[in-house]
Structure 1
Amino acid sequence: MATPSSSLPGNTTIPQHPPSDAPFNPYGYVPTEWICALFVALFSLSTLIHFGQAIRSRLWFLLPTVCLGGIAEIIGWAARLWSSKNPTALNPYLMQIVTTIIAPTPLIAANFVILGELIRRLGPKYSRLSPMWYSILFVSADIIALVVQAVGGAQAATAARNRTDAEPGGRIMLGGIAFQLGCISIYMALAAEFVMRYLWDRPARNVDVSKHTTHALTQKLKLLLIGLTFSSIVIFIRSIYRTIELTDGWNGRIIKTQVYFNVLDGGMVTLAFYCMNFFHPGWLLGHGPWRQTKHNEYDDEEVPEKQTPSGH
């Protein structure tokens, strides 16, 4: 009785009765050495800068989020660099499967926390969710997406090692990335609504104004909004790509085309990491801990209270 064939990422389809020791390339291509080395260097530099920025600004939440995500990206691209030397080796392939799919997730969690703090300063009344619940709900959803993607990646990696069908693990990964894409979409919609309500002075809910001070949109806060917007857009593009990639299948044209991965995954995530380096919350929102930051402590910048159109 013939053994069913199994599909793996790339061009490779395991033939019937494959020799147990026959080498195969699970990518379907050979990762380009200089590109892999370039991404290792870029993520290493950004992560090192983020580590220094987190220590200097005392924003400790950046260590298990942005810095952890950067380390995962370094491991993933180092594994792909290894594969460029030996594309049939399974260990580096398995490493990059898991790390590159989950690495941006901690960075996304940091964006959720930063936006929550921005809402607290500009005015919680303009947001449908309080800053605390904004961080709790979206970070929790991000953790769920991380766990699902990790489980799916591990299952797919095990299937690749055993040369069996990797599609079940791929479907789990697809569920995790699709869930994350949905969360990012809701996050971006709520953030856009918050900004518009703030600019138009149209509160979304009643808030005890005695506990909050609404501030003007200073130059630094404008820069932070620009940085968050750009970072969210490139991560959104990356999530769309990974969703389409996994939907296309583990033997599809998208997953076996290296340039798509380099540009739409590696390139987009690199832009997101460096965007936070340049638009760093420690510079734009002040050093931590934020809960103890006075309303007028934006480094040396005086922050006036926001004036409504009627002057009240």
Structure 2
Amino acid sequence: MTIIGIDVHPVVDTITKVDNESELYGYIPTRYVCIIFVVLYGLTTLIHAAQAIWSRLWWLFPTAVLAGIAEILGWSGRLWSSISPLLVDPYLIQIVTTIVAPTPFIAANFVILGHIIKRLGQQYSRLNAMWYTIIFCSCDVVALIIQALGGAKAASAVEDFEDPTSGGNIMLGGIAFQLGAICIYALLALEFLVRYHYDKPFKRKAGPLPKSFGLDRNTKTMIGALFMMWIFLLIRSIYRTVELSNGWTGRIITTQVYFNVLDGAMIFLAMFTLNIFHPGILMGKADTWKGLNSSDVDPRDAEEKRPKDSSSA
């Protein structure tokens, strides 16, 4: 039987034929690779939790920490499969968790950029910093729901010895939506930085603006870290889009090294980058963030401060 140009017989056969141990994935997950990723994700997640407590930036728990926990579950499922490749349960666990795990982490990037906009001046941003966070975090939630529904549907189909293509298409829609949001986010961030660099604010009604701290070294470093994380997340999103478009029995999804490098490694690098260049270290603890939200000055004062603060932390 063929659906949307994809022969679905091999997919169903992977569940019913137990004489070939590699058929669920198209390969048997390499045990030591799974162990390495479980350890790495466990390490970065513990560091994120400690850093969140230290900085009192509690929003890191439902974002970076939650993403790490989901990745640990996903790679634990793959490790389980490397030990018992005929079991369906660990395969189902990794289907859902590895597809949705990066979504909360992406939300952390949106929050950080919103804070940078407040520090440098919201007059250079097309969106108000608060709306920037609300809109893109909402897009992240929508993408998460779509991916989770698709993953659950695909997992249920596999469990019932049915074709998971429809669930995969839903997952593909969630990934594509997320990819689009990431690209729009990057374009708006780039526009903000260009406008700030050339001092080209949007013309809006006069009123109090958050105090501008200037583009100090720490803020520059945080922006560079955001760009690095964006690259890692973009690579992963493109890979997942191509993978699901290629089908459940395609060459991409059945090639282990692609998943290890383009999914597992990319998300770990993004999470570890945030460990090294942590917003609590570079941009202050929770009191600093709250103080910025409540500090309003005259727009002319903010503009006068801008060039003087460019070399101060």
In 1, the alpha carbon distance for the partners of 2:163 and 2:88 equals 15
1:257 matched to 2:258: no
Superposition pairs of residues 192-211 of structure 1, within 5 angstroms: 192-206=190-204, 208=206, 210-211=208-209
Deviations 1:113-163 (A, max 9, x none): 110010011010110000000000000000000000000000000111111
In 1, the alpha carbon distance for the partners of 2:192 and 2:71 equals 32
2:37 to 36, 39, 55: 39
- Which residue does 2:228 correspond to in 1? 230
Instruction: Please tell me whether the aligned partners of residues 67 and 101 of structure 2 are also in contact (alpha carbons under 8 angstroms).
Output: yes
Runs of 4+ more than 4 Å apart: 18-24
Deviation at 1:21, TM superposition (A): 7.4
Deviation at 1:210, TM superposition (A): 2.8
1:60 to 53, 58, 77: 58
- Which AA in structure 2 matches 1:63? F
- Which residue does 2:298 correspond to in 1? none
Deviations 1:1-40 (A, max 9, x none): x9x99738xxx44359x96877763101000111110000
1:292 matched to 2:297: no
- Which AA in structure 2 matches 1:200? Y
In 1, the alpha carbon distance for the partners of 2:151 and 2:63 equals 20
Instruction: Please tell me whether the aligned partners of residues 119 and 214 of structure 2 are also in contact (alpha carbons under 8 angstroms).
Output: no
Moved more, 76-85 or 202-211: 202-211
Q: Assess, with a 3 A threshold, how the Cα gap between structure 1 residues 266 and 210 changes in structure 2: closer, same or farther.
A: same
Instruction: Please tell me whether the aligned partners of residues 6 and 164 of structure 1 are also in contact (alpha carbons under 8 angstroms).
Output: no
In 1, the alpha carbon distance for the partners of 2:258 and 2:44 equals 22
Instruction: Please tell me whether the aligned partners of residues 6 and 163 of structure 1 are also in contact (alpha carbons under 8 angstroms).
Output: no
Deviation at 1:233, TM superposition (A): 1.0
- Which AA in structure 1 matches 2:307? Q
In 2, the alpha carbon distance for the partners of 1:146 and 1:19 equals 31
In 1, the alpha carbon distance for the partners of 2:207 and 2:266 equals 40
In 2, the alpha carbon distance for the partners of 1:154 and 1:15 equals 20
- Which AA in structure 2 matches 1:291? K
Deviations 1:40-82 (A, max 9, x none): 0000000000000000000000001100000000000011011
- Which AA in structure 1 matches 2:84? N
- Which residue does 2:154 correspond to in 1? 156
2:97 to 71, 77, 99: 99
2:49 to 27, 35, 51: 51
In 2, the alpha carbon distance for the partners of 1:22 and 1:162 equals 19
In 1, the alpha carbon distance for the partners of 2:176 and 2:141 equals 14
Instruction: Please tell me whether the aligned partners of residues 28 and 82 of structure 2 are also in contact (alpha carbons under 8 angstroms).
Output: yes
- Which residue does 1:305 correspond to in 2? 305
Instruction: Please tell me whether the aligned partners of residues 148 and 173 of structure 1 are also in contact (alpha carbons under 8 angstroms).
Output: yes
Bigger helix fraction:
2
Q: Assess, with a 3 A threshold, how the Cα gap between structure 1 residues 35 and 231 changes in structure 2: closer, same or farther.
A: same
SS of equivalent to 1:305: helix
- Which residue does 1:186 correspond to in 2? 184
In 2, the alpha carbon distance for the partners of 1:89 and 1:75 equals 16
Gaps in structure 2 of 5+ consecutive residues: 296-303, 309-313
Percentage of matched positions with identical amino acids: 51
In 1, the alpha carbon distance for the partners of 2:13 and 2:285 equals 58
Deviation at 1:212, TM superposition (A): 2.1
TM-score for the superposition, normalised by structure 1: 0.89
In 1, the alpha carbon distance for the partners of 2:240 and 2:54 equals 34
Q: Assess, with a 3 A threshold, how the Cα gap between structure 1 residues 291 and 31 changes in structure 2: closer, same or farther.
A: same
In 1, the alpha carbon distance for the partners of 2:99 and 2:54 equals 30
In 2, the alpha carbon distance for the partners of 1:120 and 1:208 equals 17
Instruction: Please tell me whether the aligned partners of residues 121 and 209 of structure 2 are also in contact (alpha carbons under 8 angstroms).
Output: no
- Which residue does 2:136 correspond to in 1? 138
- Which residue does 2:244 correspond to in 1? 246
1:129 to 123, 127, 130: 127
1:267 matched to 2:265: yes
1:84 to 82, 85, 98: 82
Gaps in structure 1 of 5+ consecutive residues: 296-303
